[in-house]
Chains A and B, each alone.
Chain A
Amino acid sequence: MKKLTVSALLFLGSLSSVAYADCAFENTQEVKMISGSFPAWKAVTQAMAECGNVSSTLDAEFRTKVGAALAAKPSLYHVSGVANGTFVPLLNNGLIRPLDDLVAKYGQQLNANQFIQVDGKVMAIAMMINTQHLMYRQDILDQVGAQVPTTWQEVLTVAEKIQQAGIVQYPLGGTYKTGWNLAMEFINMYMGFGTSLFDGNQPNVNNEAGINTLKLMKQLTEYMDPEYLISDSTFVQKQLQQGTIAMANLWATRATAMDNKEESQVVGKVYMAAAPKSIPDGHPASTMWWDGITIATNITDQEAENAFKVALEGLDEQMVQANTDAAIWLIKGYKPTRLSNGAIENAVNRTPSYPLTANVGLIHTALGKNISDYLTGQKTAEETLKAVEEDYLSTAKESGLL
């Protein structure tokens, strides 16, 4: 009996050493983490968990919770995984700490372009980029004898050809779901015209570029499933996978799904290119996004140091090699694949990053609420853009921005 217990203990011991094998050290202090819930975060949190004593919350509604959670004293989480947008309120409310000292001490493995710097201070460590770019069916373009479109005007021409040929149900797909998605499409194209969304703190969308953007969007919707106003990223991804559309401007994180044999009927047929441009000499009509980690302010320095060490274990080469397809990683050891072409072309062609300001959140919401009125024909382009600016102004006044 005693023998059995000893051997059982030995067995358990060997198991646990296996479990921690991929981590450089054994973590003894609890590290809590909250983040969004897509595959890249799953990969990172699993790699962190190898160090032991890590509990992670992957939450799709993460952005509505993280602010309050980090504002608690002490903070409910040590590490939070953020993106461009969710980073802003944490930064503005002083809920995340500068990481310069920790980077100097432990961050030798990090690339220079992983640092999110605000006024010279490293406030977050990025791990991946995400952006919307063109996904297209090479076989269909070959059938109609078209080149890969580089501007939205060319997209319209190619879409017309595909429509005429009647190869697929709808030539185009788009994330035009009312609200956040629709506003994102507008911002992508509007910034593609080389115009800014703001003039100081005043909104600046009711102009020629704004009207052109709306007209372009309306023209594009004529080649889409008529229920485009409820079509989100997952919907468009499914349309591509099931072969009902030929082209879409979709998030890079969705690219690997096209070659997923269990879901996709078009394995190997979907190719990636930079997002189409709004004007021929502009940059791709898209924005660059990043996801990365931050460390909470309201914890002790010692906890922060430990949490940072554990988090870096989640962002190491081994993790990237095991999960190459999960994202466009910024971490050393990442080798781009056929599916990362679009994102890389976007970046190389100087696609701007999504702005890190509080007023962008307000105009994003105002756009998301109003653009559908133009697309459904309830308002003209000028009326719609005027309503966007009015909505922005009343919210900005209420929140104290103006």
Chain B
Amino acid sequence: MKQKTFFVFVAPSLLMMLIFIAIPLVSVFIQSFYVTQNVYETVVVETCTPSFPTSICEKTEKTVPLLDENNTPITQTVFVGLDTYRAVLEPEKAVQLIRSGQFFDIFTDIDFYKALRFTLMFTLITLPLVIGVGLLIALTVNNVAQNIKGPVIFISLLPFIITPVIGALSIKWLFIGDGLLTRALESLIGQEIAMFAQGWTIELLMMFYRVWHVAPFAFVIFYAGLQSVNQDTLESAVIDGASRFERVRYVIIPHLMPLIYFIALIHLMDTYRVFEEIIGFSSEAHVISLQWLTFDFLEPDDTGNRAISRASASSMLTMIGIILLLIPVLNRTLRDQKKG
């Protein structure tokens, strides 16, 4: 393709990426080094609030923001350098914990590491499961009789179509204390089950849900790949006496390898941003993820305070995390391509 034609083709998408990805990223990056805050003064205020039979009036010392002549709060923006990152990562506290020999307490005491622990574990455990289950479904569907293939593919794809939050909520309602499945299981084994009372059962449910939800995506990709497997090679393998497992191991998987890398890449990127499961399963008490941490900083509390700088810092850290995770996979893909 001529260079000019190529450029005309990609220009619109480059422009979109610049406006919707690059510029916001730069602005978040800059925001993470600054803090914008109200200017406060402390005053004694008498407030009366209703009750029965009369109001409760009390004089208290209150810190209230200063307003300018237009009745809007005065704010000041200060450059704080890496302070916000320090507030998120809490390095002093981490070092102190390690020095006192309580290394594992880092993952319960400091929110960031607590979230990092879960996010990494979640990502790395679901990755092989998604690839394995996806491959299994693809191989099965590929061997199913031609006339029922359509309906089988349709049904296997269903979990992928469900909106993630809705899917997570449905699983929660099935397994909650008086949920349908919990009740059924309880009457089967005659023991009380509380899936949401401790962290590890919630984590198991989350991983089960994620694999159930994403495996169909892997399946579709692998299924497409299976259609182009060289039939001659397969036949010669059969003649050479290769078992079914050996055919999968030495013919099919090498053929699908680029697709496996592709799925791994997409899955790592998606799963490192795990968020819907935390909200859907309301697991904040037991497990949190990095993306949820950012969300939590951004969420205004009852009196309207939000921690925008720390949210920016935490989302920058999340991005760095994704890049670190992707480097080995990208490296491998590039090497393979050069070889090919």
Identify the A interface with B (CB < 8 A).
Answer: 63-64, 67, 71, 84-86, 88-89, 92-94, 112-120, 126, 129, 177-180, 200-201, 225-227, 229-230, 244, 288, 290, 292, 297, 330, 344, 347-348, 350-353, 355-362, 364-365, 369, 372-373, 375-376, 378-379, 383, 387, 394-395, 398-401
- Report Cα–Cα, A157/B198, bound state, in Å: 26
Inter-chain contacts of B40 with A (CB < 8 A): 400-401
Q: By the criterion CB–CB under 8 Å, are B55 and A113 in contact? A: yes
CB within 8 Å of A: which residues of B? 35, 37-40, 42, 45-57, 60-65, 67, 71-73, 76, 84, 87, 108-109, 111, 176-178, 194-199, 282, 284-286, 296, 299-305, 307, 309-310
- Is A129 a contact of B108 with CB atoms below 8 Å? no
| Given known contacts A92-B73, A353-B49, A379-B108, A398 and B301 CB-to-CB distance under 8 angstroms | no
Separation of A290 and B35 alpha carbons in the complex (Å): 34
CB-CB < 8 A to A372: which residues of B?
284-286
Given contacts A67-B304, A120-B46, A399-B305, contact A129 B51 (CB under 8 A): yes
Q: Are B176 and A116 in touch, CB under 8 angstroms?
A: no
- A180 to chain B: which residues have CB within 8 Å? 302
Q: How far is the CB of B202 from chain A (nearest CB, A)?
A: 10
Return chain B residues, CB-CB under 8 Å to A116: 47-50
Q: Which residues of B contact A179 (CB under 8 A)?
A: 284
Once bound together, how far apart are the Cα atoms of A49 and B326, in whole Å?
57
Give the shortest distance, in Å, between B165 (CB) and chain A (any CB).
15
- Contact A89/B45 with A129-B51, A383-B109 known, Cβ cut-off 8 Å: no
Say whether B63 contacts A401, CB under 8 Å: yes
Alpha-carbon distance A84/B111, docked complex (angstroms)? 29
Query: In the bound complex, do residue A94 and residue B73 qualify as a contact, i.e. CB atoms below 8 Å apart?
Result: yes
Tell me if A227 and B194 are in contact (CB < 8 A): yes
Chain A residues whose C-beta falls within 8 Å of the C-beta of B73 in the assembled complex: 92-94
CB distance from A98 to the nearest CB of B (A): 12
Interchain residue pairs with CB less than 8 A apart (22): A89-B303, A113-B55, A115-B48, A116-B48, A119-B45, A119-B46, A129-B51, A178-B282, A229-B196, A229-B197, A230-B282, A347-B53, A358-B64, A360-B303, A362-B305, A376-B199, A378-B108, A379-B109, A383-B109, A387-B109, A400-B35, A401-B40
Nearest B-chain residue to A228, judged by Cβ: B197
Contacts of B309 in A (CB 8 A): 398
In the bound assembly, the distance between CA atoms of A266 and B195 in angstroms comes to 28
Can you name the residue of chain A whose Cβ is closest to the Cβ of B288?
Answer: A369
Q: Given A116-B49, A288-B49, do A88 and B304 touch, yes or no (CB 8 Å)?
A: yes
Are A358 and B305 within 8 A (Cβ)? yes
- 18 extra interchain contacts, Cβ-Cβ under 8 A, other than A117-B48, A226-B194? A85-B303, A94-B72, A119-B45, A201-B63, A225-B177, A227-B196, A227-B197, A297-B71, A360-B302, A361-B302, A361-B303, A364-B302, A372-B285, A379-B108, A379-B109, A398-B87, A399-B305, A400-B76
Tell me whether B35 and A376 are in contact (CB under 8 A).
no
Residue of A nearest to B296 (CB): A369
Once the chains bind, are B196 and A358 in contact (CB under 8 Å)? no
With a cutoff of 8 Å between Cβ atoms, the chain A residues found around residue B198 in the complex are 376
Give the one of B50, B55, B57, B197 with max A CB within 10 A: B50
With A227-B177, A344-B52, A400-B39 known as contacts, the answer to whether A117 contacts B302 (CB < 8 A) is no
Q: Output the least CB separation between B169 and chain A (Å).
A: 12
Whether B282 pairs with A113 at a CB distance below 8 angstroms is no
**A288 near B56: Cβ-Cβ < 8 Å:** yes
Q: How far is the CB of B113 from chain A (nearest CB, A)?
A: 13
B45 touches A200 (CB 8 A): no
Task: A117 to B60: give the CA distance in the assembly, Å.
Answer: 13
Closest to A373 in B: B108
Specify which chain A residues have a CB less than 8 angstroms from the CB of B56 in the assembled complex: 288, 350, 352-353
